[in-house]
Each structure stands twice: as C-alpha cells, then as structure tokens.
Structure 1
C-alpha cells in the first residue's frame, strides 16, 4: 500500500459555527458547495474545482468541540490564482492576513484564520512582490 494523494480534511462544529465556516470557505476562500451523500449528521462538502477538499460536519448536541486551545494543527494550504483579487476580497470582508513568500519556489503566500481559528494558507505561483 502507498499513499497516492490528499483526499480531504474535516472540520466538525456546532451547527451555527459549521454554517459560518461554510460561508467563509465559499465566500472568502473560493470553495464551492457541492454534492454530498445522505449521511447521519448534517453537513457540507466543499470543492476546489472538481475535487472535494473540505468536509464540514455538525457536532452532536452533547459533543464539546474546543476552539480556543493550541493543537498540533497549524494550517491547511490551497493553491490559488490572482493574489491581488484575493487580497482585496480579504480586505472587503475584514479578514486580517499576513503576506509571505518562498522565493526559491516562486511562491507568494497569504495566511489568515477561519471563524473557528484554524490557519489557512493561500499559495500563489507568481513573481509579483509580496
């Protein structure tokens, strides 16, 4: 057996936060809500193109999901295009972000947090100054 690729990651939250995360990842990050099979708990599957990359699932009423603690999870990264447009979108939605770059790879990056405090990196292949 060998691993051949990344499939998806899952964020589990109470209904209100789950809906906020869906709106954030669709409106800000640019994912699109797509096909999801009927499952036991409510939720959403969000796609980057034709690849389902993020599952959002509703936590059970008695399930406590902590969002204010440090864990080993740092961030998820998405490959994107049009950094200036994305920076403008983040500003319009009052999302604080920081810029970075990896010159040896020709990558510009934007880092910020989602409504639950999870780290997000948007990575752009370009030669524009950051």
Structure 2
C-alpha cells in the first residue's frame, strides 16, 4: 500500500479573499476544479499543475460536503491510497462509518471518515 498527502480543504467566509491571499501573497495558482454544485477554488503549486494542494470552500454553503465542520476553518485533510478493496474491508471490520462518492472528471473514488476530535479525513483512490 502507498499513502501520500493530497490536499487540505479550508471552509472560509469569503472564498475570493482567501484565494487572492494564497495566489497573490503565497504564489499558488488557481487551476482545474471538477464540476461541483457549490463554488470554490482549487489552488496549485506553479511547478505542479496536476495536484491541487488547497481546496477553498464557502462556509455559507452547507451543501458543499458531508463533513459538517461548518464552524472550523479546516474542513478536511485528504490522502491518496492505492488499495481500495483492502481499505474498505479494513474500515468495515473496525465498524467505522464512511461516506463514499465518485468524481467522474477525476476517475476517483472518495471515502470520507470521521476521526478523533471530529476531524474529517478524505481518502482518494484513483480507479
């Protein structure tokens, strides 16, 4: 199994102000974001346009994710694994509930779980 960091997601009061800070001050760049029913931005390193490292979401949009972290700036952290069937068997054995979603534009299955302290962890599997 291989596990790597994917991104953090920030739930913000003003997604435009936050995106301007990370692009004009920090130097990240806005880039591709698959279609979602809620607004936001994906920000990339100028040297890696393949993997967004910060996702910006609106606090005002309660439909955006299943995380229910509406009062926190950190909405979730995301990791990528390469062992979907083994991971699903593992979390089921531990009786950890999760939410699963497929993103067709990325050919990716997403698993959302709640960890200690109510932290949401997104685990992505490229299918």
In which range does the TM-score fall when normalised by the shorter chain?
Answer: 0.3 to 0.5
Structure with the greater relative contact order (CA < 8 A, sep ≥ 6): 1 or 2? 2
Higher-Rg member (1/2): 1
TM-score when scaled to structure 2? 0.44
TM-score when scaled to structure 1? 0.43
